[in-house]
Structures are given as C-alpha cells and as structure tokens.
A and B are shown apart, each in its own frame.
Chain A
C-alpha cells in the first residue's frame, strides 16, 4: 500500500472529534479488504479484526479524530464566533483559511487586525481569544441560511512534502498512527501471526480518550498497544521530552505500561532490527492508553509513539520512515507474542 498516499488522503479529510464519519469511512474502506470482520460501535469507532492463531486478543488503537472549531454565535454583521473542540494554540489560528461545514461547505478566513491599527503596546501581545472570528464575506441573513450554531469548522491545509521522507500537514495527530496501524495490518495479511488483532481507529480522543474507553470495554482485550504521537525534538524542548524524527517509533516506559509488553516490544524490535527510541514518561494521560488500561478488570497496556513536531497545528511534521518502522514493530509483536506470553501477563 502507498502509505504516503494514505497519509495525504487521511490528513486532508475532515473528521473533528464527534464528527469523524468521513475520515472513518475512508479508513474503513481501506481496511475492509484485509479484515476478517469490520464494524462500527455506538460512538463510531472503526473496529477491524485480523484473526491470528487465537493466542489472545491484542487491541491496537490510534485515534481518527482531529481537533477543530465549532460555530458558537453569528453576530449581527455575519461574522462567526467559534468554540474549540480539543486544544488549540490560538496564535496558530491567525490568518488561517477554514471551511465551515454548514448546509454546504463554506470558505472562511480567520481575521486579524493589522498592526497598523493597533497600539504599540497591543502589538506586543498575542491576539486575545475572545477577539477571534471568521469572515465568510456574507451578510447575516445569508449566513443564517447556510450556517447553524454547532456546525463544525476545519482548517484548510494540503499536505506538504518536505525533504526526504518528511511530510507536513494537519491532523497527523493521530491519523499518521492510523497509517501506522494500516502498515501493520498489511503485514499481518502476509504472516501467520499468533494473536488475534483488533485494529481500532478510535473517535473523540482529543476531548478525553472517549472512543478508546468504550471500544476497549466492547472488545475486552487481553492486551493493548495504543499508538499516538509524541513531541519531536526542537530547540528549547527538554532533551527527555523531544524525540528525533526518523530514528524510529518511541516505546513508552511509564507507570501505565505493562513491564513485559515493554520488554517484548524491545525484544522483537532488536530481533527485527527495527530502530526505536525510549520514553521514560511518567504518565500516559491524554492518550488512548490511559483509557484502555483500566477498562473492565484492567488491560495489560502499552504506548507506542510517533515523533511529531508542531503538535496541534496545521503544519505537524513527521518522518514517514517512523510510520513504516512502527507498523513493522506492531506486526512483529503480533507475530511473536504467544499464548504463554499472554497468559503470563497477569502474573506479577
């Protein structure tokens, strides 16, 4: 499969938390030919099963939703005020082009008062949040016809191919990891793996790992690996908080990760000559692992991360090589972890 093409398609498809249908449809369609079963649950999680030898149920989760904006008020001049869905740095919104998904898709721009009209003092400050609005170039009456309170807004951004294997775009958090699951999926169709693998494109992660919570309850797995992005190295970022793009996926080793899954991931990576980095993270809060680990009677869980710069902006930047290596690592894990391994997980 052309992973770069899939990354492009997924990135440019809209799928804000709670409204993931389009992105979810796209991935369901790509997964369908490879899956033994595929379904959507009540909240819209895409759940594909790739059967193995039945040695245990492995859940692999990456979230399909992206952060976005939502119409909260239309003022008397037709300017649109918005709320956020998920966490934004408002400074990255200035002068962006957006699409309002109303009765029809409507083009808009996020306005910014030019510095010429600001006092020297105000010029030094970031624009205050409550001053942001979207200009769609229409009068109030026309806006009312097309736009309703609660409509979703996304930032317009096409994926940029940078040097080497690097790409920049929106919603790589966490669609890039959905691509990683897909790379794993493809490999699973070629090998006789031990574990039954449930690949889940989860919804509503950005608003509190909600999709992972209900899907892991429904699937009731023996073990799980959540896959999400981590911060890429950058000037001013603590060395233990930024990971190098192109040096492989990052295996998390905090309190939320099962020690033997951690060891096994390292072992299969070493055997398969798959590069990886290690993250001594003291908390997986804010990733699907946080929800999955405590589903029902508890799930032996782990977190694999993809280094990504400029997280939660429209120019998130990554290295495709990390996605490929991550996919390979997950597939190798499903191949090599066996019944004995799974049955040993509750034994401390």
Chain B
C-alpha cells in the first residue's frame, strides 16, 4: 500500500489535468476494461446481477493556474481549489512539462496583509520570452513535496485524495466474490466543485453511492471540536456540507464494521463536501455515504494519515461491495 500511495501522491494532477494519475491507475488495473468519459473520469466496472454500487475517489489535487507573466519572467497566479495563501511563501510548484518554480512574496508591512495578489512564482527565467518557452498563461501547476514514511503515519502532498484512490485500486484488485454490480469511478475536478462525480453518476446511474475521501480531524493541539482522530479506524460520515448520509447506508456501514471487526469512528464534519454530495442527487436520487480517511493538515503540503486507517477503509469498502443490500 505504501509504495502505491507514494507513486500516486507524487504524481502531477491538479483539477482538470488528471491525466498522469489516470495512467497510473489504469496500469494498476490491467484485468479490467476501463472507460474515460467526456470530463476525464476513469470508470472501471465489474458487472453483477444485484445492486449497482458506485464507489468514487477523486484523482485531482489542489493547485494553481498562471494568470500573467511579467517582463522579468515572474508569474502571477490564482488558485485551483481551496488553497490557503498563508501556506504558500517558499513552497515549490511543478508544471505538467516538468518545469519547477518557487513561490515568492512581495515585501509586506504585516504578514496578515498577505493575499494571493502578493504572491508570485519564480521559475528562474531571465525575462518574459524565456519564461514563455516553459510556461503559458492558463497553464496549471501542482505543489510539490516528498513522501515521507513515519511508521504507521505517512506524509505527502495530495494524500487528499490519492490515498482514497489507492484504497479504490486495492478494492478492485482484491474485489471479493459478489453478485453486486461494482463500478469504481476515479473522478476529476472534485476540488473545484464536485464536477466529475456529477456527470459520472448520471452515466453510471447507480443504486448506491459510496465516496472514498479524506476528512479532517480534531486530534491535534487546540484543534477544532471534532471527534475524528488518526489511527482510530475508518470514519463513517454522518454529515458534511454536501451530504447527509442516507440513514440506511450509514447504519449498514456501522453494522458491517462491527460484524467484521473493522475499526471505525463516526464523523460529523461542519464544512466541506465530497463526491457523494452530487452522487446522491443524481437523477431521482441515490442513497449514498462516505467512507472517510482521517487526515491531518488538509490542503497543505504535508497531509498526514495513518496507514491502519487506510486498511480499515479498504476492509469496509470490501464489506460494502459484497453486502446484501435492499
């Protein structure tokens, strides 16, 4: 799992530019016929005669888009997805073509004045012409940060949501015997508004939806009031801003976790959303839920999670995939 996680998290894939992640995933699932839809969602299917369950994990990560290149070759940019500007000074970015850059900060009187307008990217170019050989206005970039192994805990950029991609890959690789019709969708553009899952769900037209995604925790010093913590198991979401988990799905997940001795915890998230937010509203409605992976320092460059929680999430996903549903 760790090796797969490392490859996935290190891949380049801001929203709308998920190609490299998609290729890695495809290569991991050689036994399946895969389909890529109009927006770029990767759809992997195992047919069955009973309920059609759509599992989704988004491939994209937050990033930046270049909006201007000045005479000296410095780049101005805007955010792709929920980026915190206070995380950025001194960070590094990578473009699709491999060009690297560092984020600089204009001189400010007070650090609290910082906004994205005060930040720029330096790719080491001497001037505009040289910069434009490497980067164009409208190009996307992702942040970079190495994968580090702290034992049970691992750290990298883009744990949100490549960790869930890893779980979904493993689910399909180790899919238990079931008559359910399983559709794994590796979605695009989640970070900019749950876009890929929406069109994918319309196409898949499932009976049930399960999103796999990371969630915040309340287990760090002076954290927000939240019960979820690292190492305490897969989190079963009850609510976030996009979804009230269908009570039947929630109760089923609890029941399956208890029957199979899978460590789990209940999650009430007071912000944010996942693919399940749009899956459950597809067509005439789809009972949906989320298996969450607790993750610290979300949307930063050092997202931390516990691999035991990943294993628990995988076990719970497997149990749901073969569950006898109404």
Interface residues of A (CB under 8 A from B): 17-19, 21, 41-43, 45, 70-74, 81, 83-85, 130, 148-150, 204, 207, 210, 213-215, 217-218
Contact = CB atoms under 8 A, between A and B. Distances in A.
Interface string B215-252: 00010000001110000000000110000111100100
Given A149-B238, A150-B268, A85 B225 contact: no
Contacts of A70: 238-239, 268
B268 A71 contact: yes
A218 B282 CA distance: 10
Contact of A83 (B265, B268, B284): B268
B225 A73 contact: yes
A130 B281 contact: no
Interface of B is mostly: loop
A149 B250 CA distance: 12
Contacts of A43: 246, 280, 285, 287
A41 B244 contact: no
Contacts of B265: 149
B283 interface: yes
Contacts of A73: 218, 225-227
Nearest to B283: A217
Contacts of A21: 247
B185 interface: no
A27 B265 CA distance: 34
18 contacts: A18-B239, A18-B244, A18-B247, A42-B285, A43-B280, A70-B268, A72-B268, A72-B270, A81-B225, A83-B239, A149-B265, A210-B280, A213-B281, A214-B283, A214-B284, A214-B285, A215-B285, A217-B284
Nearest to A220: B284
A85 B239 contact: yes
A41 B285 contact: yes
B267 interface: yes
B219 to A, nearest CB: 11
Contacts, number: 73
B102 interface: no
Nearest to A209: B281
B286 interface: yes
Given A149-B266, A149-B267, A204-B244, A214 B281 contact: yes
B239 A149 contact: no
A81 B224 CA distance: 11
Given A17-B244, A70-B238, A42 B268 contact: no
A218 B284 contact: yes
A72 B238 CA distance: 10
A204 B287 CA distance: 13
A148 B254 CA distance: 11
Contacts of A210: 280-281
A36 B227 CA distance: 47
B227 A149 contact: yes
Contacts of B282: 214
A149 B268 contact: yes
Given A18-B244, A204-B244, A207-B244, A83 B285 contact: no
B136 to A, nearest CB: 36
B225 A19 contact: no
A150 B250 contact: yes
Nearest to B237: A150
Contacts of A214: 281-285
Contact of A41 (B227, B266, B270, B284): B284
A315 B239 CA distance: 27
Nearest to A17: B244
A17 B284 CA distance: 18
Contacts of B218: 73
Most buried by B among A74, A83, A215, A217: A83
A74 B267 CA distance: 13
Interface in B171-221: 218
Given A18-B239, A150-B266, 20 more contacts: A18-B246, A42-B284, A42-B286, A43-B285, A70-B238, A70-B239, A72-B268, A73-B218, A73-B227, A85-B239, A85-B244, A130-B225, A148-B266, A149-B265, A150-B238, A150-B239, A207-B244, A214-B283, A217-B284, A218-B283
A217 B284 CA distance: 6
A83 B239 CA distance: 10
